[in-house]
Structure formats: C-alpha cells, structure tokens
Amino acid sequence: MEPRTEAGTPPTDLRPAGGDFASRAADTVESVVDLVHDRAIRPLLLVARGVVYGIVVLTMLCVVGVVLSVGLVRLLDVYAFGNRVWASDALIGLVLCAAGALAWRKRRPAQEA
C-alpha cells in the first residue's frame, strides 16, 4: 500500500518526474490558441465588421437619397410649379444632365498599356 499524505495524494518523492507536464501543456495550448486568435481570427473579425457596417451605411445612404429625391420633387411640384410634376422632373433632369456633362468634360483619357 502506498503511503498517503493528509490530502490523499502520494508524497512528492513518489510522484512522476514530469509532474508539471499538465500545466505546461495547458499553457502551451493556451498560448497557441492566443497566437492563432491574434494572427488569424482577429483580422477576419475586423474585416467582417467593416463589410457589415459598410453594407449598413450604403443601404442607409440609398434610403436617404430616395427620400430626399422624392421630397425635392414634391417640394418643387407644390411650391414652385403649381402641381405640374413634369416641370419638376424636367428641372431635376436638366440639373442632373448638366452635372453629367460637366463630369464628362473633366474626365481624363485612359492610359494605354
């Protein structure tokens, strides 16, 4: 029968030589998991978060653009042109065509390879 101490464990002189193996293995596993998290998982999480926030912001900008466009047409229709929607549409179309023509004039030719 093995000699026992008060806690029911074998005395220290009868323990295996590598008694600290379990804690060293656990520390090694923990450091490897931390390293993988810092080098691979965290950057992926940041990219995914950026993509999700970008989609949310883009969606909100589209909604705001549509609401402002409808509001502008209604404002011009009611207060500027006396319930003539075609005039509001024509004015906004003219402004957008002028902006497009200005942008077309400012373009640069493509660089040949």
Q: pTM surpassing 0.85?
A: no
Per-residue pLDDT of the chain (113 residues; tens, 9 = 90+): 555 555 555 555 555 555 699 999 999 999 999 999 999 999 999 999 999 999 999 999 999 999 999 999 999 999 999 989 999 999 999 999 999 999 999 998 888 76
| Amino acid (1-letter code) at residue 33 | V
Residues 6+ apart with CB under 8 A from 89: 73
